[in-house]
Structure formats: structure tokens, C-alpha cells
A and B are shown apart, each in its own frame.
Chain A
Amino acid sequence: MVVKKDDDESELVFENLEKGQVIQEKRAFNETPVHPRKCSLVISQFLYLLSRGDTFTTTEATEIFFAATKLFQSKDIPLRRLMWLLLKEFSLLSQDAIIVISSLTKDMTNPMSLYRANAIRILCKITDSFILPQIDRYFKQSIVEKDPHVASSALVSSIHLLKVSPEIVKRWVNEVQEAVNNKSNMVQYHAIALLHRIKQHDRLAVTKAVSTLIKGSIRSPYSQAYLIRCAVEVIEETNTEDPVFYDYINSCLRSKNEMVAYEAARSICALKNSSKKEITSAVSVLQNFLGSSKSTLKFAAVRTLNKLAQTNPAAVIPCNVDMESLITDSNRSIATLAITTLLKIGNESNVERLIKQIANFLDDINDEFKIVVVEAVTLLSQKFPKKYKHLILFLNKILRDEGTLQLKQSTLDAILTVVNNIPESKEIALTELCDFIEDCEFPDLSVQILHLLGQEGPLTSQPSQYIRYIYNRVLLDSGIIRAAAVNSIAKFGLLYEPMKEKVIILLGRCLLDEDDEVRDRATLYLQLLKQNNTRELTRLLVDDVPVPLVNLQKSLEHYINDGDFGQAFDLGSVSTVIESMPSPILEGKSSKQTSQSGGVTPKSLSTESNDGAPESYSTKLAQIPEFSTFGKLLKSSEIVELTENETEYVVNCVKHIFKEHIVFQFNCTNTLNYQRLENVSVKMIPSNPKSVKYECSIPIEILNFDEIQSCFVAIRYHPDNLPLCNFKNTLKFRTKEIDPSTGEPDDQGYDDQYSIEELEVSVKDFIQRTFVTNWKEEFAKLPEQEPATFALVSVKNLNDAVKQMISTLGMAPAEKSETVVPKSNKHQLFLSGKSLSTGALILARARMILDQSGLNTDVELTVKSDDQNLIDLILSSF
């Protein structure tokens, strides 16, 4: 035993240890007779340096390693034990470590098991495929030793060696089989693991071995947990009907050992074909854990239930009460998981109560955690739109309580999301926000809210109620907020005619403001309002910037960084290509997974596009020589999924439109960890072969497990004859099995293919969303066209109809016409776009009305453009 008094110096000795100084001290190893105590200290110091993170050069390591071999002559056990550890740790850093083999083989004959156990562990480190055959008898004899120390050491070493020389280790299978019967729990576990790994390539042999083992009387917890994992693997890979595997996992649920019971429960929850009864028993095991005093058990249970709630929320409901009590758990990870699980399994009837309950403990939790809650509640609003009132009030409570800007920003974002998704929630949200800005301490938030009030307030049923709150800001707040308030007031004047006179008076009062910006804005708007210049006011106050803001930001950053201000910034140079924009809520969750995969080669066009550069598609495509002659990238489509998310190979596609070419970018993910795919390509068969010419195909050379890479197919078309057709797609590749023990693929492999979904190229792929400043005026200017009428069958509300029209046409809504007045039964939608090939402006007006049955929506669509050909194509898409 080590007993040390309080002695500051001893701590300093270790903490301030210098590598150079210790290396000098290794001369102690050369002294005869050996001084065990002195040498032990030096070895401890080396080992400490290594675990502290100091690095040794190969020369240093080799010198240390060789000096330490002198200590083989000592018979002092504690010194020997340290020497072995030193040799083991330094064997990988040192050269010619193989030299100690003879000393180690001598130790292998020592009657003390400690010698043999340690020697075999070092042998494993220094051996390679050439040496191993000469010393393999040591492994074979050690594996079957009764002594657990030696047997375990030999077995675990063999597991490591399986990666170095699988062929040789596989020859020890009989010895390993014998070791399974060793009385020691750990030896049994290591033997089972090695046996399983030796047979891993032969599914039949694994199935047989596992089924024999689970029928036997394996009692050791580690072995049981390992066998559960094996049984799961057999079930998943062979789809076996044999109940023996499920029965085994089930029987382990009753284990007294928590590790085993938990392994069984989580396996049942994860297996696709578990029966309802099995899931119920697994959930009840987890439910017990929820009430445990051990944090890890609670965590394990709630984490598993959280996952289960995604696929099978009903199964988790019995744990409702237990989970509610975890909301206030002192371990935040547990509480977070409990809340998100509860929200996942929440239903229309209990969601209100749940929200109230969470509201009760809000005071006890920190801001970071509140953000998690806010995000979960935002998701809930999408699931239960009818509960918007409670959700808005809840979010508003968080907004009003003490908190950091980050929390409040997240909460405000959440409220905005709810307002955007559920138009009915607008009025209550606006009223609450009006109250909030009365004493909001963050100018940033006030500005955003004022913007929202100006944008949405005039369109509500009682616009006048908001103006007082807004004008209060002008009276009481700082310059930046006053300026925002002036904008907001002006919008009321523009968008809500009855208040125009009032607005003119209010703006008049701002003309003497001490802040230049406020005064300038007020003067400008006042002037325009008096002149009734609606067009200019709309341009200033309502219209969006005609390019995506992200792109504008990037371009401006470029402009500033270039430092060449001789030429003014040209808005026209900003790309209007909108790249994939995943939902911000889902993004947070999935980013975790993508960071894990990590193996995206630099060449591939990753769908994650973390860099988010708007030009990234075009710059990356331009680097591919085959495409370099295609000219400028006109448009990239959104990502189209071509497989389910959980299939063996996940494929999605982005269509890149060039003047006379289309490049299909297929992003492929290999989700099978035992396969490596080579020469991956997609074969496309068009339904209308005349309109397209095959240009080239660029396969993925090697696609490893969990990697996302892209292969491409390019076709050529004539701009006068757009290739509007469907493509049948087949993923083709050569597949090679991966040897799990070495991570290397087998040599042969075989060709395989995999059907993926059809892909459509439609007229919207050739239309670019554009923003026109005054839609109605432009529309009137274009030549008259006959409207087309048709019905959107089983579209029962106007909001859906609007969404469908926008997505079918791929054009941008103008004049805020994408917002449907609540409860009305007809609506006009204005859309604008531009032909990719000719650049001709396209404007579309859709008059929509719910038909008498209330089940369908009738549409009268008028499309205007100078490009008659395009009009026909658009109309034919309905």
C-alpha cells in the first residue's frame, strides 16, 4: 500500500518533471546490482510523462526501451511489473522492439502466472505476421491455461492480433473453444468474443455458434451482454425466424445484473421486429431504472425510451409519470431527455398539462436548458397547431423572464416560427409581443419585434390597437429602436388605408427627433405618404431584397475583403441560386450525425455544405473537367430524395441546370458497415429519349461505410425543346465485403445494382424565382393571355393550395400574396419568375376558390410572358 503524508514537494516533483532530466536518469537501469526502488521510480516517471502527453522521438524511445530490457535480470516483482508496462507502452514507439522476444519467451516459462500473463501481452504488441508463427505455441498454450490472468491476457491479445494476422489467429479456434469452458467469468467472455470474431465472415458459422452458446449455461454478465449483441446481429443479418435468439434476449431482461438487463432492453427496443409483448417487458425494465437512485441507470433508460418514442410513442406512454418526475432531475442530460421524450409522446389531450408542468419548473433551470425546451415546444407547435395559444403564452413567459440574449433570441425565433406556421396565432402573439417591448432590455429584439408588428399588424382585424405600443417606443427608447418604430408606423400608413391620416400625424411628430436616422426616415416616409407614392413606399418598406440574404451577405463580404472600391457594388452580381436549406429545427439534430461520419472526401459535393457558400455548387462543379465546357450554372434544384432514409444505400439528387446541359448530382451514402462500394454510378433511363442526349457519367471510385460522396450524370438538351420527362434510375456498383478484423475489403467483390426512385425534370427546373418590385404593374404590361381553369383535387384549404401552386411552378410569391386571410374561401396568388434560357419574365396569377363541396380547390391560372412556348409548357404541367 502507498501511504503518503501531506508533502508538497512530492507533488511538485511529478508535476514539474522534465523529459530530458528523466531520460538522463535511465542510467539507473544499467547499475548492478539493480536498485528496485530507484528503477521503479524512474519507470514511473517515464510512464507518467507518456500519459501526461509528452512525446518521445524514435531515438529516445528506442534508448529507453533498450535500457529497460536490462531489468529482465531483476526478480523484484513490483519492478518487473512496471518494466513490463514500460516495455508495452514503448514497444510501439521504439525500433527493433522484437529483440526482447527471447527474454519474454523465457518469462513465458516462469512458474508464476504474473510473468506469463504480462509477457504474453507484450508479445502481442511486438509481434508481426512473420514472427507470430514462431511463437504461436505460447498463445495456444496460454489460451487454454486454467489461470484466468494468463488465459484472459492471451485471449485479449489474440483479439488484438486478429487485426494483424487473422489467418494465424484463426488456427487457434479449437483452443479458444476450449477456453469458453474456463471457470473464470472474464476468460469466458474473452473467449466468446474471440470465437465470434474468428467466425465473423461466415454467417452460418456465427449463427450456429451463437445459438449453441445461448442454449448453454453462460452465466457471466459480460458474456451475456456480448451474446445479446451477437443475437441481435444474427437476427438483423439473417432475418431468422428461429425464436431462440429472441427468447435469449428476452430471458436476459430478467437478469439481476443491470448491465445485462439494460443491454437486453435496449436491444429489444432497437430491433425492428420485436413483438408488442417483448417491447412491453423491455419498457417495464427501463421503467424500473427510471426510479433508480443511480444517475447512469436513469440516463440509460430515458435515453433508450427517447429513441423508442420516435418510432413507437405508444409503447413509452406507461412511463409517463416516472418521466415527469425526472423533469427536475439534477442531472441536466436526464432532465432534457425526459422532457423531449414527453413532448414526443404527448398527445392533443395532455400537451396542455405538460406545458403547464414544464412552466412550473422553468425557474429552476438554466438558460441553455431552456433553449432545449424552447426548441422542443417549437416542434410541438407543428404537431398540434390547435394548441397555439398555450404554446405562445408559454414561449412568451420565457421571453419575459430573466434570461440571456441568446435564450431570448431563440424564444423570439420560436414565436416567429409558430406565427409563420399557424396564421391564427398571429394576433395573440402580436399582442403579447407588444407588451414585451414595453420593457425589453435588448434593443436587437425590440427592433425585430417592431419589424414584425409593422409587417403583420396592418393585416390583422384590428390594426389600430398596435400603433400605440409602437409610438411609445418613439417616445421612450434609443435611436435605433426609434428608427425601427418609424418604419413600422409608416407601414401601417401604407398597408392600412384607414390609418393613413393618423400615421401622417405621428410621423410629423418625429421630424424634430435628435437622431439623424429617425428624422431622415420620418421625413422620407411622410413625404411619400403625402404624395400617395405607393409604389416607392412598397419598394422601401415591403419588398424583400431581390436576392437571398445569405448570398447578399457573402457577396458584400467579398466586396469589402477585396478592398477595391473603385467600382460600386453591383446588386446584379449576387447569385440568386438558393442552395438547400434544411429546416433549422431539424438541422440542429442532424448535425450531430453528420459530424460523426466525417469521411467526406474533399472532392465530393457534400450535402451538408457547412460552408454554406452560395457559389459552392458552381465552384465545385467547375472543378470537374468534364463539366467545364457547360458554361455558367443557371440553377440548382432542391435536394430530391430518391430512397427512404433508412435503406442500405441512401441516395438523393440535385439537378444542376446549364444552358444546354443538365448535371444530375447523386449524393450517395453507404450505410452498411461491412461493405465497401466501388465504381458507384447511376444509370438513368429517360421516358422520352428523344429530347435528351447522354453526355457523360462520373462514378464514385470508392464509397466506404458512412461516407457521403457524389456521382454525376450529365445530359445535353436543346433549349427549344426542354427535356420534360421522367427518369428511371438504378444505382450500379461493385460491392466488396469488409473483413471486420482487418478493415480491409476482400479482393473479388461482385457487381450489384439497387433500384432507386424515379426523378422528374419538369418545367419548374427551367424557371428561376425572381422578385419584381411592382407585380401588378408588370402584369398589366404583358400581353393578355387566356386563363386556364382546373381543380386541385382534395386540396381542402387555401393554404395548402397556395403551397402546392408555389412548389409546382417554382416561382416566387409577390405582394405578400402567399398569406391567406384566415377563414376566407378564396384567394389570389401572384407569382413571378424568369425563364432560365431566355431570361424572359414570367408572371402568374392564380385565383383560387374552394369548391362547393369544400373538398377541392378550383383554380383559374393566368400565365403571362413574352415567351409563349414557356407559357404552354407551364399550363401543360397541370
Chain B
Amino acid sequence: MSSFLYTVNSFFILDNKGERVIAKYYSNDFENVTKQKAFEQKVFDKTSKVHFGGEITLLDNYIIVYKAFSNIVIYMIGDSDQNEVALLYVLNSFIDTLQNLFENQINKRTILDGINYTLLTLDEIIDGGIVLESDTSVIVDRVGIKLPDNDEDELGKVISSAKEQFINFLK
């Protein structure tokens, strides 16, 4: 049995024509982009046949869990003997985080316009195929961390004003 640790084999988002929007491969199963895209096309064909209504399927030696949105489909791929429930959890973490960051609007435009958030979310959830974090609120925090613009002084000000308030509170 393959290791539980390397939960995710690959990840991709395809548009409603089956074209890649973004992808990330954590294994060397597909040696080049052409082969990756051929695989993506196969996955798309199989899932589009059932109008993306399935949530999960098997293809070749992979488990595929997926979720479709208005004009994109998000796929999470694991080895065929992987724990599919674990794989679903990862997909859900990713989707929930994006829902949160994009205010429940997941589609091709929000994914691309917020590409920095999309890719950072992925980076915070999966590291080399290993699940790094699963708690959505933690992930949102690590991705969307938003402090006053480009100035450490501002941060300092915030902290010192907080300190002041705290001291005032104590008084």
C-alpha cells in the first residue's frame, strides 16, 4: 500500500472545455506537461460524461475526487489505494478556504483574478503531496494575512496602541 502520508498525487483546475487553468503535480508519474495534459483530458472526459455529478471516480490507477463550479472543475488526485476520504478532506479544505477568501464566489474569474490567493492556499494546504494543514480558518489566516501596507512602523503603531489600550484597561 502506498503511504498514507503522501495523500495527494496531483491537483488541477480545468475550465468547462477541459483546458487547464492551473495544475500542480507532486509525483513524477507524468514526465512532461504534454503527458500531464493528456491525463487531465482523460479525467475531464470521464467526469464530464456524467456531467460532473459524481464527486468521485477511479481512472487508470488514480482516485479522483472533484467538484464542479459554474465554469471550472477542481480535481484532487490520489493513488488508487489512497484513503479517498482523506483526499476528499483535502479537496474540501481547499474549496472552503477559497469560498472564504472569494466570498463564496468560485469561478474561473475569481480563481484567476485572485491567482495569488489560489496558489498560496494550495501551498499552505499541501507540501510535496503531504497535507500540511487542514483547518480552514488557520489556512485563511496564513494566506490572507493582511497587515498595514509596507511599513513596519505601522505595525509598531498598532502594537503600541494595543499596548496602551491594554494598560488603560488595567488602570
Contacts and interface: CB of A to CB of B under 8 A. Distances in A.
Given A51-B24, A160-B128, A299-B56, A1 B144 contact: yes
B86 interface: yes
A592 B61 contact: yes
A53 B36 contact: yes
Contacts of B145: 77-78, 81, 114
B5 A159 contact: yes
B127 interface: yes
Contact of B20 (A34, A36, A52, A222): A52
B130 A14 contact: no
Nearest to B86: A259
A331 B64 CA distance: 13
Contact of B150 (A14, A76, A596): A76
Nearest to A740: B3
B170 interface: no
Given A81-B145, A85-B123, A229-B4, A259 B33 contact: no
A152 B110 CA distance: 29
A694 interface: no
Nearest to B116: A44
Interface string A96-129: 0000000000000000001001000100000000
- Sorting the interface of chain A by its residue count into under 10, 10 to 19, 20 to 34 or 35 or more gives 35 or more
A226 B5 CA distance: 7
A11 B109 contact: yes
Most buried by B among A2, A43, A225, A270: A2
A4 B114 contact: yes
Contacts of B171: none
A48 B22 contact: yes
Contacts of B132: 152-153, 156, 186
Contact of A331 (B33, B56, B102): B56
Interface in A143-160: 148-149, 152-153, 156-157, 159-160
Contacts of A266: 83
A259 B89 contact: yes
Interface in B14-65: 20-24, 33, 36-37, 50, 53-58, 60-61, 65
B30 to A, nearest CB: 11
B73 to A, nearest CB: 15
Do most interface residues of chain B lie in helix, strand or loop, or is the interface mixed? mixed
Contacts of B128: 156, 160
B1 A331 contact: no
B148 to A, nearest CB: 9
Given A153-B132, A299-B84, A331-B56, A75 B152 contact: yes
A193 B5 contact: yes
A497 interface: no
Contact of B85 (A40, A149, A186, A258): A258
A299 B112 CA distance: 32
B61 A595 contact: yes
A609 to B, nearest CB: 21
B interface, size bucket: 35 or more
A229 B3 contact: yes
Contact of B86 (A114, A117, A156, A225): A225
A51 B102 contact: no
Contacts of B157: none
A800 B108 CA distance: 64
Nearest to B109: A11
B146 A4 contact: no
Contact of B33 (A47, A55, A82, A592): A55
Residue with the greatest number of chain B CB neighbours at <10 A, chosen from A44, A79, A148: A44
Interface string A1-26: 11110110011001100000000000
Contact of B127 (A76, A82, A156): A156
B65 to A, nearest CB: 6
B163 interface: no
Given A2-B117, A114-B142, A300 B85 contact: yes
A262 B54 contact: no
B115 interface: yes
Interface string B120-155: 100100011011111100100011111101111000
Contacts of A332: 50, 54, 57
A36 B113 contact: no
B109 A10 contact: yes
Given A53-B20, A193-B5, A296 B85 contact: yes
Contacts, number: 173
A149 B145 CA distance: 13
A51 B11 CA distance: 10
B50 A331 contact: yes
Given A1-B103, A53-B33, A77 B146 contact: yes
Secondary structure at the A interface, as helix, strand, loop or mixed, is helix
A333 B87 CA distance: 17
A82 B120 contact: yes
B48 to A, nearest CB: 13
Nearest to B147: A77
Nearest to B141: A149
Contacts of A77: 145-147
A266 B63 CA distance: 16
A263 interface: yes
Given A2-B102, A186-B134, A595-B61, A51 B4 contact: no
A2 B114 contact: yes
B19 to A, nearest CB: 10
B120 A85 contact: yes
A51 B13 CA distance: 10
A159 B151 CA distance: 36
Nearest to B80: A596
Interface in A184-215: 186, 190, 193
Contacts of B103: 1, 3
A595 B60 CA distance: 8
A679 to B, nearest CB: 28
A157 B127 CA distance: 8
A420 interface: no
A193 B4 CA distance: 9
Given A81-B120, A156-B130, A159-B130, A15 B112 contact: yes
A256 B133 CA distance: 20
Interface in A79-97: 79, 81-82, 85, 88
Given A47-B115, A331-B53, A52 B22 contact: yes
Contact of A330 (B53, B60, B101): B53
B146 A11 contact: no
Contacts of A297: 85
A74 interface: yes
A53 to B, nearest CB: 4
A36 B147 CA distance: 13
A225 B149 CA distance: 42
A712 B40 CA distance: 41
Nearest to A34: B150
A209 to B, nearest CB: 16
Contacts of A797: none
A263 B4 contact: yes
Interface string B77-112: 000000111111100000000000111000011101
Nearest to A329: B54
11 contacts: A6-B109, A11-B113, A48-B22, A51-B22, A51-B23, A152-B132, A160-B127, A222-B134, A263-B86, A297-B85, A300-B84
Closest 7 CB pairs of A and B: A295-B55, A51-B22, A76-B150, A2-B114, A53-B33, A259-B85, A331-B54
Given A43-B116, A53-B36, A333-B58, 20 more contacts: A1-B101, A1-B144, A2-B102, A11-B109, A11-B112, A14-B113, A15-B112, A36-B149, A51-B22, A55-B33, A75-B152, A81-B120, A159-B5, A186-B134, A222-B131, A262-B83, A299-B56, A303-B58, A331-B55, A592-B61
Interface of A: 1-4, 6-7, 10-11, 14-15, 34, 36, 40, 43-44, 47-48, 51-53, 55, 74-79, 81-82, 85, 88, 114, 117, 121, 148-149, 152-153, 156-157, 159-160, 186, 190, 193, 222, 225-226, 229, 232, 258-259, 262-263, 266, 270, 294-297, 299-300, 303, 330-333, 592, 595-596
